[in-house]
Amino acid sequence: MSKEAYILGTHNEELDRLGFQHRVWADAAHALWHKANFRGGQHILDLGCGPGFASFDLAGIAGHHGLVTGVDRSAEYIEYAQQKSEASGVQNTRFMHSDFAGMELGKEQFDAAYARWVFSWITDVDETIVKVAASLKPGGVFAVQEYLQWGTFQMVPEHPDVRVMIEACRESWRMMDSEIDIGRTLTERFEKAGLSISHVAPLERTARVDSLTWQWPTGFLRIYAVQLMALGLITQGQLERYLEVLPEIEGQNSAFLVTPLMVEIIGIKQ
């Protein structure tokens, strides 16, 4: 399996995590699609579609007279989405294996486009936005959800062994060529690409231990810890201490966490 396409790889454990992640945030995605007036009969682009979890939800919105095109740089995930589409008998999806630099979307092909946690992980942000904007029909919309300030992520009660993990993640983001908090600049980038901003809002949650949202960042930390050790940002002992203290925190009724601060944006092509 390819390791460079996704920060956590494309193995089965990460596939399961992405499916779980979509379940956690599906309601927020649907709410944004409603604000952006995604509807039946549209041709919708799912940029960075991964295994297609959002694509299939979008296909339900587009309906029999619409079409969803998913684009992703992971050959494994595109193959998964294609096989799922065939097995499920979904006929209004198509999937394209391409990085964003090489993707060919055409001019004025789409009524709407969607991207979630895509721009935080790439370096050709402006070029990609320009390409998506050109592919939209006049009046077409581009709806995105991206990190605004990842460092707001916090678990309460605060514990030093948890803080070590969070700070190691933040340091790993600084080591990347991309910008994790890309949401800070997206409205300006949209406008430069000819997209008028119609909606901007924060996206953040607090979560108790018994919620699905609690498992979203804690599961990520467990999987990503392997790469943090490979980068020399944590030790095996630090990981073991985190894994030991987490059940103790989860045993406290007062415990909660705050997810990283995100932002959702809708741009309209004039």
Q: At what angle do helices 212-230 and 236-250 cross, to 10 degrees?
A: 170
Q: Confirm whether 4 is domain-assigned.
A: no
The pTM (predicted TM-score) of the whole model is 0.93
Report the number of distinct structural domains present in the chain: 1
Q: What 3-state class would DSSP assign to 218?
A: helix
Mean pLDDT for the chain overall: 94
Structural domain span for residue 233: 12-269
- The pLDDT confidence band at residue 11, using thresholds 50, 70 and 90, is low
- Tell me the pLDDT tens digit for each residue of 63-92: 999 999 999 999 999 999 999 999 999 999
No. of helices (H) and no. of strands (E), the chain: 8, 10
CATH code of the domain containing 126 = 3.40.50.150
236 and 229 in contact (C-beta within 8 Å)?
yes
Q: Confirm whether 65 is domain-assigned.
A: yes
Q: Confirm whether 234 is domain-assigned.
A: yes
Q: Confirm whether 3 is domain-assigned.
A: no
Q: Confirm whether 155 is domain-assigned.
A: yes
Q: Confirm whether 6 is domain-assigned.
A: no
- Tell me the pLDDT tens digit for each residue of 155-208: 999 999 999 999 999 999 999 999 999 999 999 999 999 999 999 999 999 999
Q: Confirm whether 22 is domain-assigned.
A: yes
**In which element (H, E) is residue 191 found?**
helix 186-192
